[in-house]
């Protein structure tokens, strides 16, 4: 299963040279993950309260930045489930 979401680089995501502020990628990864949960009929509340999980904590992140994005660009973020275990899910974005 591949889940995709598009993020538009807004002026507020950029520095004075109109290059995106790279830490925003982590916020976009979080947005992608929660959109993925919603597409599965889940959300943070359901995962923690109804399914009894401790939460949806991020344990590890290792993005690579191949080129800068600039104001007006559209980023396509793709999420796949790389590994599933009882206590954790490894996602690849």
SS3 77: strand
The pLDDT of residue 88 is 64
For range 24-44, the mean pLDDT? 87
Task: Specify whether the CB–CB gap between 90 and 83 falls below 8 A.
Answer: yes
The residue assigned the tokens 């599933």 is 84
> What is the pLDDT averaged over residues 15-44?
88
Who's near 7: CB < 8 A, 6+ residues apart?
28, 31, 74, 75, 77
pLDDT value, residue 14? 94
Amino acid 93: pLDDT? 65
What is the domain partition of the chain in residue ranges? 2-92
**What's the pLDDT tens digit per position in 35-93?**
988 998 888 888 777 777 776 766 777 777 788 899 999 998 888 887 777 666 677 76
CATH fourth-level superfamily of 2-92: Hotdog Thioesterase (3.10.129.10)
Q: Which residue, among 78, 65, 77, has the nearest Cα to 23 in the 3D structure? A: 65
């Amino acid at each position: 299963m591949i889940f995709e979401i598009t993020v538009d680089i807004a002026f507020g995501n950029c520095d004075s040279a109109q290059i995106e502020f790279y830490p925003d990628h982590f916020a976009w990864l979080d947005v992608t993950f929660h959109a993925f949960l919603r597409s599965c009929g889940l959300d943070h509340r359901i995962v923690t309260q109804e399914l009894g999980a401790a939460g949806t904590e991020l344990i590890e992140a290792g993005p690579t930045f191949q080129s800068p994005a600039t104001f007006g660009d559209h980023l396509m973020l793709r999420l796949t489930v790389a590994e599933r275990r009882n206590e954790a899910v490894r996602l690849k974005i």
